[in-house]
Amino acid sequence: MSFTDTSISTQVDEVTGQDASTETEIPAMRFAVWGASLGLLSLVLIRVWQGEWWFPVGLDATTPEFATYWLGLLYVEWIVLIITAVVGFWSYRKPCTVCMSTREKQGSIDPEHENTHIAKLWATVSVAALFGFGVSYFAEQDASWHQIVVRDTAFTPSHIPLFFYAFPMLLIMTGVSSWYAYNRLHHVYVGENGKGIPISYLLFPAGGWFLFANVAFNELGHSSWITEELFVQPFHFPFAWATYFFFSGFALLFKTVPRFYDNLLAFAESKSVTSGV
C-alpha cells in the first residue's frame, strides 16, 4: 500500500514538473507584493500630482494648462486600466494545464498545487481591497474638494483619480478575482462535477459596476438637481449601497479556507507515507 501511494505521488510530481515548464502564472506571494506595490505606488503618485497641480492649473477646465496636466493624467490612467484589464483576463482565460493533466491522469488535483491557486486567489482579492481603500480615500477627498471648489466639468482634479481610475480599477480587480476563481477553482465552489455559476462570482464585481454606473447618475444630479456638494445627498446613497456587494468577496475567500486546510492535511499525509517507505 505504501509503495502504491509513493508511486502515485511520484507520478503526480512528474506530471506537475513536466507541465510546470509551460505554466507561466505568477506565484501568489510575488503577485501580492508586486500588485500591492504597484497599486499603492499609483495611488500615491496621483495624490502627489494632485497636491502639485490642482490649485495652479486645476481650477478652470477651459484653460490649455488644465488639458495638459489633468486630461493628460486621465489618458495615462486609461492606458493603465486597459493594460491591467487585458493582461488580467487574458492570463487566466484558460484552466491550469497542471490541474488538467493531474486530474486526467490521477483523477484529482495535487493538493499542494491546488493550494497555490487558493493563495493566488487570496492575493488577487487583497489587491482589489487595496483599490477599495483608494476608492474610499478619494471619495472623501472629492466631497470635501467640491464643497470648496465649484465643478465646471465632470473631469475635475478630484474626479479624475476617483471616477476614472480607482473605481474602474476596483471593478477590474474584482472581476479578475472572480475570473480566476472560475478558471482555477470552480470545482471548489460547485463540486468536482458540479455545474452553474456561484452568485459570489457575480456579486463581487457587481459592486464595481454599481459604483461606476452611479457616476453618471451622480453627475446628472449635481448638474441639474442639487448642485451643492454634501455628503448626505440622495444620489450619493447608491455609492454606499454598492459597497455592500463587496462583502461577497468574503464568500470567495471563506469557501477556500476549509479546502486549503484539507489540502495541507493531505499533503502532510502523503509526505509521511513517502518518508515511511
Alpha helices in 162-198 (DSSP H): 167-184, 186-190
Residue 277 to residue 265: CA distance in whole angstroms: 19
Q: In this structure, what CATH number is given to the domain that contains residue 264?
A: 1.20.1050.50
Distance, in Å, from the CA atom of 54 to the CA atom of 103, rounded to the nearest integer, reads 56
Q: How does residue 275 score in pLDDT terms, banded at 50, 70 and 90?
A: low
Percent of the chain whose predicted confidence (pLDDT) is above 90: 36
| CA proximity to 166, closest of 17, 27, 30, 42 | 42
In angstroms, what CA-CA distances link 79 with 10, 15, 49, 56? 46, 39, 17, 25
Say which residue the cell 474610499 belongs to. 136
- Report the 10 Å Cβ neighbour count for 134: 24
What is the arithmetic mean of pLDDT over 185-212? 82
List the domain range (segments joined by +) for residue 76. Answer: 2-276
pLDDT in tens, 49-75: 999 998 899 888 889 999 999 999 999
Distance between CA atoms of residues 271 and 268, nearest Å: 5
The pTM of the whole model exceeds 0.75: yes
Query: Which of 8-22, 148-162, 261-275: highest mean pLDDT?
Result: 148-162
Model pLDDT for residues 217-274, shown as the tens digit of each residue: 877 777 777 666 666 777 778 888 887 888 888 888 888 999 999 989 987 887 776 6
Q: What is the domain count for the chain? A: 1
